[in-house]
A = this chain, B = another copy of it.
């Protein structure tokens, strides 16, 4: 934390990026006719390029597009397809994604292919898979340690750090289960903004529309997954970092209850030892809810307390699929952050579908504690470090702040200084909020809550602001997930437009046109198993309706 300021941080970052670039074989390079169009102001949708650019074989297109992780593992475990072929396909596609949206931080294709070969050989020799993730390529947010690769988390001053000498605990567990690691992905400076932008790796763009944010803090994953350069990725989440990229890119994600998945062994963006009541969480992002179940069950079945003493030493419970009507609470919007028309339409449509399928909806808007105040309270927990460690880390290199940093504060907290005395009062305030939501869940016999993940779809770079709709579940420590559904379509959205709503950021239909829609589902704490089953039901209904 006390590195000397770096005389020429720009050239250091440039070297890092150049070294990364070299890891993409020339055969996997996009032509300049495509790359010349890439810019953060372009309205280009690049989702079709991996399929059409000619770098992937038809088989590779199929391997990367047609299956979820569960299906791939089944096929690889039976020997029907080889991990080597799957891994090669995802390496190629990740390389393409990197050229389109700048989503990668560390690239280790060779190690991945060698590991994939090892998985295939094991199966051939032993006749059974290595484990429940046999041969599966998994992408990782940069903050995970992977032995032999660097973990800079986008801090210039961390460029001087040697490659990691150990894996994050979760990485170890996934490896033992048969996973193949091939890339780490981009994130914001300090990991506390929704724009995955830092001075080491630059900015990740949204593949749906390059001029929009890919979200953060796990935006590299979000963009990579949307481009199907990965089939499953791992994200951390303390205010929405697992869910915001899912919202922005239009993929699925799950933030479990804290301490079920081992968090330790990675590189934190700030100081260790926080007395905050909000715990950081790791959760999967990807393409299907059953993949999240596979991930959760695999990790928890491994008894991860043996690796990370901060894990709750409780089993993954087998719960039955949902067979009876569910009861959903519905939270729509806070007046300070009214829903953009595409989001209002998506939520309305999803709620209607649930009702039509026989499930109940209970409107909670007027019954919940003020969402804005809850978010402010959460933000105070993020400001508890008197040493302001991330500031020191940034200043150590002389790198500037990325622009989005200035957009993620609350005016109400200008000049606010944490104190031990107020921390007691904050905990009492949080206890009241916890109590209110518990009472709502219990008294209304709710199985889950449906709500937006954000007031808008993906927004222009550096305009995301405070994540009021995702930080709530961190404050509560309720599990929550994102499911993609619909997309911004100005004609269809128009009926949901309210002239005096005071949209923030501003709603300009053409800017958002084509951006993916999503909904957020929130479960009860420690009932991740039940939330997964509920999400499967909703996922099925939304897919049918799409």
Contact = CB atoms under 8 A, between A and B. Distances in A.
Contact of A273 (B312, B313, B427, B437): B427
A526 interface: yes
Given A314-B526, A315-B317, A526-B314, A424 B309 contact: no
A414 interface: no
Copies of this protein in the assembly total 2
A118 interface: no
A386 B420 contact: yes
A526 B312 contact: yes
Interface in A203-224: none
Contacts of A317: 315
Q: Is the interface of A mostly helix, strand, loop or mixed?
A: loop
A431 B313 CA distance: 16
Question: What interface size band does chain A fall in?
Answer: 35 or more
A310 B431 CA distance: 9
A277 B427 CA distance: 13
A369 interface: no
Contact of A305 (B272, B275, B313, B438): B438
A428 to B, nearest CB: 4
Interface in A288-347: 305-306, 309-310, 312-315, 317
B525 A313 contact: yes
A421 interface: yes
A487 to B, nearest CB: 36
B310 A424 contact: no
Interface string A46-69: 000000000000000000000000
Contacts of A71: none
A387 interface: yes
A427 B314 contact: no
A305 B424 contact: no
Given A272-B428, A427-B275, A525-B305, A310 B420 contact: no
B309 A425 contact: no
Contacts of A387: 421, 424
Contact of A309 (B385, B421, B426, B435): B435
Contacts of A274: 424, 427
A402 interface: no
A384 B422 CA distance: 12
A540 to B, nearest CB: 26
Contacts of A434: 309-310
Interface of A: 271-275, 277, 305-306, 309-310, 312-315, 317, 384-387, 418-421, 423-428, 431, 434-435, 437-438, 442, 524-527
Closest 5 interchain pairs by CB?
A309-B438, A273-B427, A313-B526, A273-B428, A273-B424
16 contacts: A271-B424, A273-B423, A273-B424, A273-B426, A273-B431, A275-B420, A305-B524, A310-B431, A310-B434, A313-B526, A314-B314, A315-B317, A385-B424, A386-B419, A386-B421, A387-B424
